[in-house]
Chain A
């Protein structure tokens, strides 16, 4: 996994609650068998009009949000389908940090597996960022080492993140490798598992 230490990048604001993964990456783009190349389809049904032209009314399509690396979103971001294509699309588009008042469970988890940092901030802090940006191009620095968000103009917000997840993200650790360090424990568990448990052995 790509490590994440800190990022200084422009911010995009998407002021909508309950943005589901069907919106983040619509199902017609789930047919690829690779992890890459999903960025151009991010928020597809919102970004583009029915005739394929750019929807200029959509938040992310305004010029000052171009090149954004940090997305500030509404509550319950990433609800619905478990598709990991959602974090893949967000990262491929250029985002490395998502800030929201709350996230859906599976999405939140999927972010960490890909080096995308989801940050939970309370509503007042998000409001503070929104008003500081006041519709202009706005740059933030997100530092995972110090767990802080700063704008270089006086705003400094601390955020919380699970210590183990932070450690994995800072070091770009591979979860599977970590678990396999305990292969002996897995084998020991398996030797105790009752043989009556369902198995597909002998089906093929």
Chain B
């Protein structure tokens, strides 16, 4: 069981004046039961990449393996619904997919499409709305009366209620307030830790990458140019420079201390850092 990209290329509108090569020969293996960050500049192909994970986009060359499913270029895949039940994809700005009369029905829409009974779907909706940090009183309201951030939460709840094994999120926290974004990230971390889910998340926020993710995949101009664990990623000074990524403050501080001869432990939190500094200074 794994998620693999083999020589995957994707061309938008092939053979037309709008032809655009969005992915070039991507080879990639994504671990399960981990939280993997997909980073890269705008237009680098992150959204294109993740839409291959539930076959919304099919590779125009190469193949994508998802558990025991293989999606091959030029072959019409069958029964994609079963794949989409396993891989839940939350789009960039998912608030635009709300349509039902009540939030309850909107969240229950996904599970019902996958053959879950009405009652079970509603029970899941009740759970999902709490998971995303809204209370049950929202369930009977119209999704269109909510603020942007609340809509986002409801849309994410709609995917969580489908209970997919692999949850793919395309910039789920873009435009949320910092506190809300943190809560969201904590939710995803809990889903991984407590419910053994796999989380793939597209993000521009390096603090989130550092604090919540296990691995990093870097996209640039449609190519996968780097894959490693989070620590190694932030140690790649040149790569970060090249991507115009400013590393999180703690990483910078640690680097500066190391340059001045401090011995620091690996953990990247301020508690450990302060302890290390105190220990070093006392010496």
Does B bind A? no
